[in-house]
Chain A
Amino acid sequence: MACMNCETDGGGCGSGCSCSSSLPLKATGAASCLCIKCKDGVPAITVGNQTEPMCASCLYVSLLSKFKTAVNNHGLITPSDNVLVAVSGGPASRVAVEMLKEIRSKAQSDADASKDGTMKVFRLGVVYVDEATVLRLPESEAEAAVNSIKEMYDGIPVHTVELDCVYGTDGLPSDEDGDSASSKLKLTKLFESVKDMTGKEDMLELLRMQAIQTVAQISGYTKVVLALTATRIAAKVIAATTKGQGYSLPAFIQYLDGRWPIPVVLPLRDCVARELALHCHIAKLTTIFVRGLTTMADPRSSLNNLAHHFITLLQEENPSREHTIVRTAAKLTSFSFNAEVVPPSRRRRNPRNHDKGGGKSELSPEFLCSICRAPLQSSDMSPQTETTVGNGRDSSGNYADMKSTCCPSCLFQIFPEDGVQAEEKYLLFPDSTRKASTSTFSQRQKWMRSQIQDYLLPEETSGLFEYQLLFLTTMKLLLNLHTTSIYPWISRQLLNDVY
């Protein structure tokens, strides 16, 4: 290829180019085609950070520094951590692992050089979740993907796990063939029962996370790294808004997400997909592409897909849109489980981090949706139906418990059924999800009880409690008022009536 305006061969307008800056460049600056970071006139290969022409090595330095800043400023990874990176074979997770390897080897050489040898270095492993059952991929394709992943991450522990391990008992993946076949069948049925494509995608994401958590717990990891880029987070923000998840949105766009047994961190939050893909190509990092649920489908096939297309369209108009969306959404108050553990050395420099995330947790404990683990707004918690309140409930829980502890978005997309169908679907969910719903349900009962404790009748007449609760929830619905403010008032009225 030659420069358009002059006859110099090679990388665009290289150092020998004498053309004027009449190229239709998006980049600013008249010298245009030279890397603006290197001082020695290296030809630029791309436009990084939205407007800066950069050479390949400066692009990597810029990506690495964003990654390191995220890790250090937010205390995402400490030397004592055992880090598990969730990989998909795509460029983002590939680069994340490469960067962590580099940071680790630097830390290792520092540790080796230290005199007392007490310096610790974090450990690293990767996990790949094989979703072939759900995606209906031919076995050969799934096997090839697993093999390439193992090849790609040669030298560090690679865990590959099939998605149906979420059905394993007590967090252990089922090994026996019979078990595995039945859990695969369950998984297929569960996905068939979810009609909505957006619901299917969300469900896949949740089960994938459960599988990753299972591996992390069994193998003793202390942090899970997700390679979510700014591009994907921006798309998630838009998608979540359209799904009506405005309340829970701040929970999953922070650097740290502690809703899971093993905390999840997002160190690539400041990097865009485009730059990562470019770096992978230039640095000859192999990536694989595994078909997803909506691959080759119409953009309108799911909300998530549509949001992603929308973001790339915006990006085309203005390259900083992704960052703008992520930064704007990050202004929303996050939850207590997003609070970062800032290392003491950084504390004074980031005074804001102290109170970050405390805001919403003071009034009530955080109750999470039993399917997607989105924080529930108190007004979203649907009242218990008569069957759950009136009749004696066994400790194993039932579908009504689950439905009453679901966020509206999951109720709409994943679990809209009622009656017998709902009962059947409830049994298809993994044990962990069902357990979560039972425990959320009983915790919430306990919390509600504690809120009205002062106004309750003495022990011997406590059989009335269930009826009180039913009465209160009905009243709450009628008045549509905030739970915490209305409960004491109603209880008092109720007591007046009783006496």
Chain B
Amino acid sequence: MKLTLEFGGGLELLFGSVKIHKVDVPPPEGETKITVKHLLFWIRNNLLKERPEMFLKEKSVRPGVLVLINDCDWELCGMTEAVLEEKDSVVFISTLHGG
């Protein structure tokens, strides 16, 4: 499944200072749907260059990271259970740094 991932607010430093990543994420074995939870695992295993604890905490993103799925706050979409579709965009913005 093709997805566009965007990292901002300093999170890009964990991904080789590249903000936008166009990725192809395979669904988990025996399933056809991809949830955000699966995407996070996939990012950790395939994309994250360093310091996973700066991005993830347990099975979710770490506090202070804003997640938007197609420009909609993931709190309104079911957080980690939200189901992704082809060509969706997922944005991660860290608010840990000031303005």
Contact = CB atoms under 8 A, between A and B. Distances in A.
A230 to B, nearest CB: 12
Given A281-B8, A289-B8, A1 B95 contact: no
Residue of B70, B82, B95, B96 with highest tally of chain A CB at under 10 A: B95
B46 to A, nearest CB: 21
B76 A27 contact: yes
Nearest to B89: A1
Interface string B59-91: 000011010111111011111011111001001
Nearest to A9: B85
Interface in A289-343: 289, 291-292, 295-296, 308-309, 312-313, 315-316
A88 interface: yes
A107 B98 CA distance: 29
Interface in A1-48: 1-4, 9-13, 23-27, 32-33, 43-47
Contacts, number: 130
A232 interface: yes
B75 A26 contact: yes
A91 B72 contact: no
Nearest to B62: A312
B70 A46 contact: no
B23 interface: no
B68 to A, nearest CB: 7
Contacts of A213: none
Interface in B14-50: none
A53 B77 CA distance: 12
A278 B77 contact: no
Interface string A247-278: 00000000000000000000010000110111
A94 interface: yes
A165 interface: no
B83 A1 contact: yes
Contacts of A276: 99
A229 B73 CA distance: 20
B98 A45 contact: no
Contacts of A96: 99
Interface string A87-112: 01011111110000000000000000
A250 B28 CA distance: 53
A296 B76 contact: no
Contacts of A309: 63-64, 96
A287 interface: yes
A98 to B, nearest CB: 12
A53 B76 contact: yes
B93 A281 contact: yes
A289 B76 contact: no
A287 B8 contact: yes
A282 B71 contact: yes
B85 to A, nearest CB: 5
Interface string A104-143: 0000000000000000000000000000000000000000
Given A2-B83, A9-B85, A12-B76, A313 B70 contact: no
Interface string A328-366: 000000000000000000000000000000000000000
Contacts of A92: 98-99
A477 B78 CA distance: 61
Nearest to B80: A24
A315 B76 contact: no
Contact of B75 (A46, A56, A91): A46
B97 to A, nearest CB: 6
A1 B9 contact: no
Interface in A172-227: 227
A295 B9 contact: no
A273 B9 CA distance: 11
A33 to B, nearest CB: 6
A96 B82 CA distance: 33
Nearest to A33: B76
B32 to A, nearest CB: 13
A274 B68 CA distance: 12
Contacts of B79: 24
A231 interface: yes
A284 to B, nearest CB: 10
Contacts of B12: 289
Given A90-B98, A273-B99, A315-B63, A1 B85 contact: yes
Contacts of A274: 66, 95
A58 to B, nearest CB: 13
B95 A27 contact: no
A71 B44 CA distance: 44
B97 A292 contact: yes
Contact of A4 (B75, B78, B91): B78
26 contacts: A4-B82, A13-B76, A23-B78, A24-B79, A26-B75, A27-B75, A27-B76, A45-B71, A46-B72, A46-B73, A47-B73, A88-B99, A90-B98, A93-B99, A96-B99, A229-B98, A274-B66, A276-B99, A277-B8, A281-B68, A287-B9, A289-B10, A289-B12, A292-B97, A312-B95, A316-B64
Interface of A: 1-4, 9-13, 23-27, 32-33, 43-47, 53, 56, 88, 90-96, 227-229, 231-232, 268, 273-274, 276-278, 281-282, 287, 289, 291-292, 295-296, 308-309, 312-313, 315-316
Given A273-B95, A312-B64, 10 more contacts: A1-B83, A10-B70, A27-B75, A44-B76, A231-B95, A277-B8, A277-B93, A287-B9, A289-B8, A316-B64
